[in-house]
A and B are shown apart, each in its own frame.
Chain A
């Protein structure tokens, strides 16, 4: 039962253009969403998060959008840079009483930004 899905295994964009990575979830109890970036042989690095009380959160070149009715979130990177080439994981958590904060991850999307 895949509660968090990233349906695009890979994405290739040109340097300077926008990268849009998508994520869908099925569990309506999720109320906190995060994006992580992972380089080979390294652990995931936290990028940006959003609470379910918001529909947008921005941090520099990174913006996350949340559509609760569609159970969909996306990460926009503008402008994309070659150093952004990595695997991007979407993760979700339920922060209600009794929960542990464990993250449920999607399968990841490999982003390649071409110079």
Chain B
């Protein structure tokens, strides 16, 4: 079946611009996670959605970052006023429920110039 998809695959933006990254989880998966991987680092948790529950935003690095999940399916991660340190690969993962294995999308490589 279809896996997790993300778009765009690559995004180059100028410092100060806003960007939107999209994630389409596996159909039926209620848990959705965003992570980012900076160069040479492991994956860093950003935010978690589970059904209609309030999201866990504890990993968002600043108030320039926000995310939403509409209709319990597609999610959008928005970064406002991008900075060079925001350059990373942003990965989305979904899971049938929390505490199950997470299935990752291919990621969006964001470069802020």
Contact = CB atoms under 8 A, between A and B. Distances in A.
Interface residues of B, number: 28
A2 to B, nearest CB: 9
Interface size class, chain A: 20 to 34
Interface stretch (B11-19, B70-78, B79-87, B104-112): B104-112
Interface stretch (A56-64, A71-79, A100-108): A100-108
Interface in B5-54: 31, 33, 35, 40-45, 48, 50
B59 interface: yes
Interface of A: 4, 6, 32, 34, 36, 41-46, 49, 89, 91, 93, 95, 99-108
21 contacts: A4-B42, A32-B99, A42-B107, A43-B4, A43-B106, A44-B43, A46-B103, A93-B99, A99-B98, A99-B99, A101-B31, A101-B48, A101-B102, A102-B48, A102-B56, A102-B59, A103-B35, A105-B35, A106-B42, A107-B41, A108-B42
